[in-house]
Amino acid sequence: MSVLFSPPLPHLEDSPKRIRALFGGEYIVDTTQAKLGWTKKWYPYYYFKPSDLKSKYLVQKAKSDGKTTTYDLVVGDKKAEGAITEYHDGFFRGLALIEFGAIDRWFEEEKQIFVHPKDPYKRVDVLQSSRHVRVELNGVELANTTKPRLLFETLLRTRTYIPPTDVNLGLLRPSTYTTECPYKGVANYYDVHLPDGTVAKNVVWWYRTAQPECAEIEGFLAFYDEKLDVFVDGELVGKAKIETFGLKSLEN
């Protein structure tokens, strides 16, 4: 990990990795000359030399404005409108950006990546803990454990993952909601249904298959501290404290 905490913005640096972008069964780019670029903290994207893009799959979307040229990505019958932007001016001059979400699969070397490239200046650690953690909603206990696993992620709120055997699973109902994280994987969610009819949507999440660096949280359940009452070693750290003291809420 670099000694730098976070690079100044905007920022651009060489990537030593082989980067491939698969769309419609074809690799739109396959290069070891990609650059990692930031316009906001913790969310880098890959930028490419236009010569590294396979031009036969690029269809100019509109007349260039002198600063950028936008292209549709077309492979056979599959099309991603405006998926590629080539920069002729500014900080990213001479480079092209492919919209990350427009691509079917991204690969760093032989490993697929999700959401956006991982930030080399960001760290995620999972540690086994013996802290006593209780989670409540409207006074109803949802979880109670002394075996939590704590996930520490640079500049984000610490998340507590609880073994399912220490959770009142009878109060949970599967949700159709999912989110993706490049460091943890695809999260599935639960709604909480209390006996009095109260429903709290998408306040519990878990990873069926976590990314290797976060494998210790696989199958464990995390509770949305900002929306529930969470006590750690008897101290309130969740929703009620945030509402009372106006603490900043951070997303998972």
**pLDDT tens sequence across 166-200:** 999 999 999 999 999 999 999 999 999 999 999 99
Domains and CATH numbers, the chain: 11-113 (2.170.150.40), 124-245 (2.170.150.40)
* 21 touches 27 (CB < 8 A): yes
What does pTM read for this prediction? 0.79
**pLDDT tens digits, one per residue of 107-118:** 999 999 999 999
* Contact yes or no for 117/36 (Cβ under 8 A): yes
pLDDT (average), residues 77-85: 96
Q: Give the lowest-confidence range in 117-131, 160-174, 203-217, 228-242.
A: 228-242
